[in-house]
Every structure is written in structure tokens, then in C-alpha cells.
Amino acid sequence: MAYKKPESALVVLYDQHYRVLLLQRQDDPTFWQSVTGALEEGELPLETAYREVCEEIGIDAKAHGFVVNDHDKQNQYEIRSRWLHRYPPGTVHNTEHVFSLQINSDLPLVLTEHLQYEWVSKDEALARLWSPSNKEAVSLFVPSAP
């Protein structure tokens, strides 16, 4: 098994009604999150953001004219112990690059890595998200409904 690079992109998605997209993990159904994924070799964080959106929810943002916003923010966090085996031995921290993306929630989503999705209010997203960095990104980069 190839190890994951301990560097990832987090993409907070919200719709035209300022609802946040939450995804339920397959390997931990109590864990709801935004789109996220590790950078591949030679890939820039912004490229990872576009790729992960396409892979995880089936939306080719560029083809639809949606623009991923790079917030020039990086978080470093301790990797959950249950996931350490995915990374090179001795790796305990991940660097996460933060992005946001507004999409049209009328588009059909195709999940490949999650059990289900829900569009929820910003407040509900903040209450349900597990990751502190994911909560912070929603708080900072998702506009409040008018």
C-alpha cells in the first residue's frame, strides 16, 4: 500500500441558499465533514481541491464554471490514531489547505466515498462537524444567509 502524503485540501461547499454540504464518512458514520483529500505527488493544493470535489461528489467544478476560492490558510492538526497507518511511519501531523466553493444544490451529486450527504444551515453544520479545522473553515468562509 502506498502511504498518503500528510498534506491535504479541505473544500467547504455551500449552495445558492448558503447551506453547507455535509458528507457522512463510510469508515466512521458519526463523522460528518466537507470534501477533503490528500495531495498526490506533484499536485498543487488548488489542483487537489478541484480533483477531490470531482471524485467525492461527481461535480466537475471547472466544467460548470464554479471557482474554488483559495483562502491562503493552512492548518496543522494531529492525525486521528485510527488513520495513522495510512501515512509514513512516524507521521502524526497533517497540513491542511483550506478552500471554499459555492455550487448549485440543484445539481445531482454522485457519492463515491461517503454514505450520504445533507445540505444544512451554517449553524447546523457547525454543530455537526467533528473536525475543529472544518468548523473554523465553515465559520470563516461560508457567508451567512441574507
pLDDT digits (tens, 9 = 90+) for 6-34: 999 999 999 999 999 999 999 889 999 99
pLDDT more than 70, % of the chain: 99
Distance CA 98, CA 132 (A): 13
Which residues are CB-contacts of 128 (< 8 A; sequence separation ≥ 6)?
22, 32, 120
Predicted confidence band at 47 (pLDDT cuts at 50, 70, 90)?
very high
- Asked, for residue 95, whether it belongs to a domain, the answer is yes
Please list the alpha-helical segments (H only) found in 82-131: 122-128
- Asked, for residue 108, whether it belongs to a domain, the answer is yes
β-bridge mates for residue 77, sequence order: 94
- Asked, for residue 134, whether it belongs to a domain, the answer is yes
pTM above 0.85, yes or no: yes
Structural domain boundaries, residue 19: 7-138
- Asked, for residue 25, whether it belongs to a domain, the answer is yes
Q: What cell numbers appear for 125 in the block? A: 453544520
Give me the CATH number covering residue 89: 3.90.79.10
- Asked, for residue 144, whether it belongs to a domain, the answer is no
DSSP 129: B
Domain total in the chain: 1
- Asked, for residue 145, whether it belongs to a domain, the answer is no
